[in-house]
Amino acid sequence: QVYLVESGGGVVQPGRSLRLSCAATGFSFSNYGMHWVRQAPGKGLEWVAGISGEGRSQSYIGAVKGRFSISRDNINNALFLQMDSLRPEDSAVYFCAKEYGAFDACDIWGQGALVTVSS
Amino acid sequence: EVVLTQSPDFQSVTPKEKVTITCRASQSIGGKLHWYQQKPDQSPKLLIKYASQSFSGVPSRFRGSGSGTDFTLTINSLEAEDAATYFCHQTSSLPYTFGQGTKLEIK
């Protein structure tokens, strides 16, 4: 069975850091690009970052460039999002998602991890 | 950045009705446009990829079409379980972007 499970969400003060993890099961993890997509409460979906299967290529939206870092561990089938200098506007549910193929849709999504940035 | 604009934002429909949701891109994205369904407190589910390819296990009443800048998701003979928010998503150029969503309410 193919699934993704996020962890590491929580409440954090502005300016602090948080690291999200996503455990992958049931597929050849290193063969697929992976993404983080977030959704603020009551809002739409926003793509945040993506990483290639081998981990050599990463991309980010402008709003998080220089503050967030996406990485992966292909030995332990895990995806990460290191979030530094957090802002209240980063508060959202963060989903990890698997690419179906290169430049393709995301066919598998995790259940999401809630991040709340508040003093 | 490619901006995706969906219409309508909200639609109230009756079962068995045919529903059409459109997604317009601010520049040509070829066929790299995908559709997702999201129900409250759930993660998105892939319905259609590359504009018109139905994803495995998706009911045949969901159909996608279009290319370039104009795309359509059609739901034939709507069922009560189709109450959800629908998003389009482009993977033609970085940063990837989503439409704002279309919420379908079943009367």
Cβ neighbors of A66 (< 8 A, separation 6 or more) are none
Residue type, A20: L
Report, as an integer, the average pLDDT of A33-39: 98
Q: Do A100 and B94 touch (CB under 8 A)?
A: no
Q: Indicate whether A14 pLDDT > 80.
A: yes
How many angstroms away from the CA of B91 is the closest CA of chain A? 5
Q: Quick: pLDDT tens for A87-117.
A: 999 999 999 999 998 778 999 999 999 999 9
| Per-residue CA distances from B50 to A99, B46, B67, B95 (Å) | 13, 11, 9, 17
Residue A88: CB atoms within 10 Å? 11
pLDDT in tens, chain B (107 residues): 999 999 999 999 999 999 999 999 999 999 999 999 999 999 999 999 999 999 999 999 999 999 999 999 999 999 999 999 999 999 999 999 999 999 999 99
Q: Quick: pLDDT tens for B84-98.
A: 999 999 999 999 999
A107 interfacial to chain B (CB closer than 8 Å) = yes
| Residue of chain A nearest B58, judged by CA positions | A107
The whole-number pLDDT of residue B47 equals 98
Out of B36, B49, B98, whose CB is closest to A100?
A: B49
The whole-number pLDDT of residue A101 equals 84
Residues of A in contact with B89 (CB under 8 A): 45, 47, 105-106
What percentage of residues in chain B have a pLDDT greater than 70? 100
What percentage of residues in chain A have a pLDDT greater than 90? 97
The whole-number pLDDT of residue B27 equals 97
> What average pLDDT does the structure give for chain A?
96
Burial status of residue B46 (CB atoms within 10 A of its CB: 0-12, 13-18, 19 or more): buried
Out of A61, A106, A107, whose CB is closest to B95?
A: A61
Residue B60: closest CA among B79, B87, B83:
B79
Q: Do B44 and A44 touch (CB under 8 A)?
A: no
